[in-house]
Chains A and B, each alone.
Chain A
Amino acid sequence: MKILIAIGGREFSKPTLDLGMKIANSFKSSTTIAYVGKKISQFSEKDVSVVHQNLDDRELYRPGIRTLEWAYDFLISKKYIEEKDSNTFDDYLLVDEENSRMKVLLKGQQSDKIDLIMRTGEIIEQLKDEVETNKHDITIIGGGGNKGIHQKLVQFIDSSVFVVKNYSVYKKYKILLPVNDSEGSDMAIDTAINFAKSYKLNVEIVSVPEGKKSIEEVKKILNKTKDKFSKNKIKTTTKLIDGLTVNSIVNYAKDDSIIILGVSPKNLIMKYFFGSKPLSIALKCNCPVLITK
């Protein structure tokens, strides 16, 4: 499994980085920490590039490196990386790769499990390119900023998207798994099983009767899902909730929930213009949300 963690400002990126690394460690996956720099106007892009080269030559940190250095120090302080004298940021090398991608190599860096990269440009375009080029399975991004970014990420990025909203290291989380009979829901169940096993988290399976589905049919879906978890020796509770799907789930979710959802089976064009239920839940709720693909 390959995980991409996108970071921005320092304070806001702490929870994203922390949760992202926990997931990466529990799945023993390789991780890329990406800093996407501000998009530069075409008028000034060459001027900016010349200045940044100049800063490198003068051994002055170029923008973005400071954030990656902070991220690296944070990983060491949390013991996600083993600290060695040789793997500090005092001696780094920037490797200019294709499509505005720059890889940071540290002298004496032993592990190939964690990559630090910098990209410059429009964030969706850059993350999409990163996921497509390096085949990441999960993209983890902070919950702050523009909601449109999350919508576009879910829409266009070819990986599961984890939006880390209001995450606290001190809380004991439980998984909230809304299910129905769609293909996306099956994928969400598989992911939730993996997560629950790795973290030993409790799981709450919920379902909302939609359309012409009877209560019995919905209960059947709930029980079937519960069985899958029981086979994996994971504790679950089930709940049938009434009302409009999005609002009911958003209201039901608590601050200590991690919602895991499947991607909507709706037509892409319809989703682009009118949105989808998983997307609306991700935008409205106040806790971390993983949309699986």
Chain B
Amino acid sequence: MNESYKIISSSILFWFSQKKWFVYSILISIFLLNLNTPLGLTVPAYHSLIILLLVFMLVTFEPIPFPAIALLTLVLQVVLGVAPPNVVASSFMNDAVLFVMGSLMFAIAIVHQGLDIRLAKLIIKIFGKSKRMFLAGLMTISAVLSSFLGEHTVIAIMLPIGLSVIKNIDTQQADGKNAVLLTLFSIAYGTIIGSIGTPSGGARNVIMINYLQEFSNVSIDYWKWMKHAYPILMIQLVVAYFVLQFTFPSSLNNIKMRGFKKNVVKIDVKKNINHLFSCLIIIGIVSSWFAFNDIYGLGIIALAGALTFMIFGMISWEEINKNTNWGVILLFAATISLGFQINETGASSWLVLKFNELLATFPSNSMDVSWSIMAVLSGLTANFFTSSATVSLIGPLAIELHPTDISFALSSAIASGFSFLTVISSPTAMIIYSTGLVSTKIFFKVGILMFCISIIILYLMSQFYWVML
């Protein structure tokens, strides 16, 4: 009896110690449910906001698996009367979710082809004249590729190239350590900055486009997004290059640009054909995003990319199934569904009303203040909560602030891409951190400067450049 008690109580305590944030989140939600509904809010709207808070806490602290959070979000929407089952089910799947699914599969298929070897040769050929040029090239290529193919694809391709040139550097010496950090941050910042460039650069962009279409009937095509975002990307790249050179001064003597060649296996004819065909598929998909996204949607085109790789036997379903993060897909689907309900129930209008009441107390131009708060809030939330989840939950609020002015919605989505502060904010940051060569402290130290500069660039561009478009 005593032994059984010990085992049971130890198991319960261990469960509690690991899942305490789940318990706290549920207790807070129950407490809020028992309060009176705030004035001006309907009961479903109030309940949708409680679910929003619950999801924020659960995703931030991760006490339970993402698929469980997704299912809980769906169940609670129905049980708490936010929306009937059929409405929840229909809002669960849309083009943005298909895009998340398609782009993840497409990324796995591309990475599987081993294009990094060829890309490394190309970068060395173009930028190999000097080591600083090489790093600038790594950053630029990362940004351009990431803007079309997404962060997770590009970081997986570029990191081995980066690690191979810094392989034998002694990180105990300041010069060597700075060279390592400079290389890794060049790739990371290139990839992060690039993801704001086009709609396919990140799921958050597609989610915002979908919301704008649904809630404001405003349509933004691939080209229109690029016209708004690409100049910001280019300015950010130049700034990031100098910020990194200034933060990590290094002679770069230890960097071995040809290091990657050592690992390059002889590419045979079959591989050549494979690589050529992969490039054709990628070009085909990116062109389709430009030309046909109005007709077919970004998600369906991304799925077509993964499908083509599978049909031609260039990747097996088992490989895709093993490496696709189904939990994230479910979570995005559930949070997008919740985002729709927050808008439908009028909860977002109520929040914006309260926000505007608060703004009225400010003496300065309320448009500027509301833009700044919204952009900084989107950027900061994304850094602690990841960008796509942030846009799926606070996107409706950004649109509601100025439903006919796309600059608010675009700024919110773009600011969410400024994942410079924390390592949990984006796959790129987490992958760089997982190498063990970059600490959270260093990431934040460099990131805070980049974050502030990026917000200023975004503000200036939205004020002076977007108005000309």
Contacts and interface: CB of A to CB of B under 8 A. Distances in A.
Given A51-B159, A55-B163, A58-B160, A41 B424 contact: yes
A156 interface: yes
- Name B's interface SS: helix
Interface string B111-124: 10010100000000
Interface residues of B, number: 40
Contacts of B14: 128, 156
A2 interface: no
Nearest to A152: B17
A155 B13 CA distance: 9
A41 B116 contact: no
Interface in B98-139: 104, 108, 111, 114, 116
B434 A54 contact: no
Nearest to A49: B323
Interface in A243-293: 267-269, 272
Interface string B296-332: 0000000000000000000000000001110110000
Interface residues of A, number: 36
A215 interface: no
Contact of A63 (B6, B263, B434): B434
A268 B155 CA distance: 46
Interface stretch (B26-34, B244-252, B425-433): B425-433
A272 B436 contact: no
A64 interface: yes
B13 A268 contact: yes
Interface centre among B160, B323, B426 (most CB of A within 10 A): B160
Given A37-B434, A60-B164, A54 B325 contact: no
Contacts of A268: 6, 9-10, 13
A59 interface: yes
A43 B430 contact: yes
B436 A122 contact: no
Contacts of A269: 9, 13
A46 B325 contact: yes
B436 A55 contact: no
Interface in B395-437: 424, 426-427, 430-431, 433-436
A272 B13 contact: yes
Contacts of A272: 13, 17
Contacts of A58: 116, 160, 164, 263
Interface string A124-168: 110010000000000000000000000010011000000000000
A52 B431 CA distance: 9
Contacts of A124: 17-18
B62 interface: yes
A38 interface: yes
A147 to B, nearest CB: 15
Given A54-B159, A60-B167, A46 B18 contact: no
A93 interface: no
Contacts of B164: 58, 60
Contacts of A48: 427, 430-431, 434
Given A41-B62, A122-B18, A156-B13, A60 B427 contact: no
A54 B263 CA distance: 12
B43 interface: no
A188 to B, nearest CB: 19
Query: What are the 10 A-B residue pairs with the smallest beta carbon separation, nearest first?
Result: A44-B430, A46-B325, A47-B427, A63-B436, A44-B427, A47-B152, A58-B160, A268-B9, A41-B424, A42-B66
Interface of B: 6, 9-10, 13-14, 17-18, 62, 65-66, 104, 108, 111, 114, 116, 152, 155-156, 159-160, 163-164, 167, 263, 323-325, 327-328, 386, 389, 424, 426-427, 430-431, 433-436
Interface of A: 37-38, 40-52, 54-55, 57-60, 63-64, 66-67, 122, 124-125, 128, 152, 155-156, 267-269, 272
